[in-house]
Amino acid sequence: MLRRFAWTLLAVVALAPLARAADEPPGDDLKKLKGTWEYTRATANGEDFPKDAVEKCRLIIDADGKVTFERGDEKNSATITVIQQSTRPRRLNAEILDGDEKGKTRLAIYELDGDTLKICWGHGDRRPEQFATAKGDNNLYMELRRKK
């Protein structure tokens, strides 16, 4: 049950690095996030996902702020509604566009360093404060690398 929840959370939450900021212009980060991202690591509730499973996942971010999560034949999508570039760590919100979580908003922190992207998603109305997860927190942490 935990694995199913974690994969659902991975699919739903992972759908998110992009879009238009509600309180500040999106600036350069939106442009820098555009592209195809491959997962290098994913952790939920303090447990790493199996490496072979993570390697089959990818995130595609387009110029309009829509992100598509792909895992095999499974696809989900989201749109970033807020990107706060002035905070450290930077913050983003993603509105889920389909699936069981459609219409919900996920809160996250992110760090972009060249072709490496780190995102940590909170659960409910909690935004994570660090790039880590612990047993029972229902957070999802992922590391991604831009596909060349």
The one-letter code for the residue type at 81 is T
Model confidence pLDDT, tens digit, residues 14-68? 443 333 334 445 456 777 888 999 999 999 999 999 999 999 999 999 877 899 9
> What pLDDT shows up at residue 96?
93
- Widest distance between CA atoms in the chain: 40
**Cβ neighbours of residue 109 under 8 Å, at least 6 residues apart?**
89, 90, 91, 92, 119, 120, 127, 128, 129, 130, 131
CATH class of 2-146: mainly beta
- Indicate the domain borders of the chain: 2-146
Model confidence pLDDT, tens digit, residues 63-84? 778 999 999 889 999 998 667 7
**Cβ neighbours of residue 34 under 8 Å, at least 6 residues apart?**
18, 61, 62, 63
Whole-angstrom distance, CA of residue 44 vs CA of residue 106: 15
**Cβ neighbours of residue 24 under 8 Å, at least 6 residues apart?**
83, 84, 85, 86
Model confidence pLDDT, tens digit, residues 129-148? 999 999 999 999 999 999 98
Whole-angstrom distance, CA of residue 74 vs CA of residue 68: 10
